Structure 1
Amino acid sequence: MPKVEIFDPALCCPTGVCGPSVDPELTRVATALFILEKKGYDISRFNLASEPAKFAENKKVIQYLNEKGPDSLPLTLVDGEIVQSETYPSTQKLAEWFGIAVEDLEKKKVTNKIDLV
Structure 2
Amino acid sequence: MKDMKIEIFDPAMCCSTGVCGPSVDPELTRVAAAVYSLEKKGFEIKRYNLANEPGIFAENETITQILNEKGPDALPVTIVDSQLKKSGKYPTNEELSEWFGVAKAELTEKPKKRVSIQLKQL
Structure 2 length as normaliser, TM-score?
Answer: 0.85
Corresponding position: 1:56 with 2:41: no
Alignment size in residue pairs: 108
Q: Secondary structure at the match of 1:95?
A: helix
Q: Give the partner amino acid of 1:63.
A: Q
Q: Secondary structure at the match of 1:62?
A: helix
The answer as to whether partners of 2:33 and 2:107 remain within 8 angstroms in 1 is yes
Q: What's the CA shift for 1:58?
A: 0.6
Q: What's the CA shift for 1:38?
A: 1.3
Any gaps of 5 or more consecutive residues in structure 2?
A: 111-122
* Equivalent in 76, 84, 87 of residue 86 of structure 2: 84
Counterpart Cα distance in 2 of 1:107 and 1:75: 23
The answer as to whether partners of 2:7 and 2:46 remain within 8 angstroms in 1 is yes
Any gaps of 5 or more consecutive residues in structure 1?
A: 109-117
Q: Give the partner amino acid of 2:73.
A: D
Q: Give the partner amino acid of 2:59.
A: E
Counterpart Cα distance in 2 of 1:55 and 1:83: 16
Q: What's the CA shift for 1:25?
A: 0.3
Counterpart Cα distance in 1 of 2:109 and 2:45: 18
Corresponding position: 1:42 with 2:39: no
Counterpart Cα distance in 2 of 1:10 and 1:107: 25
Q: What's the CA shift for 1:107?
A: 2.7
Percent identity between matched residues is 62
The answer as to whether partners of 2:78 and 2:91 remain within 8 angstroms in 1 is yes
Counterpart Cα distance in 2 of 1:34 and 1:16: 14
Structure 1 length as normaliser, TM-score?
Answer: 0.89
Q: What's the CA shift for 1:17?
A: 0.2
Residue by residue, what CA displacement relative to the aligned partner does 1:94-116 show, whole Å, maximum 9, x if unpaired? Answer: 010001110111137xxxxxxxx
Q: Give the partner amino acid of 1:64.
A: I
Q: Give the partner amino acid of 1:20.
A: P
Q: Secondary structure at the match of 2:46?
A: strand
Counterpart Cα distance in 2 of 1:59 and 1:50: 18
Matched with 1:113 is none
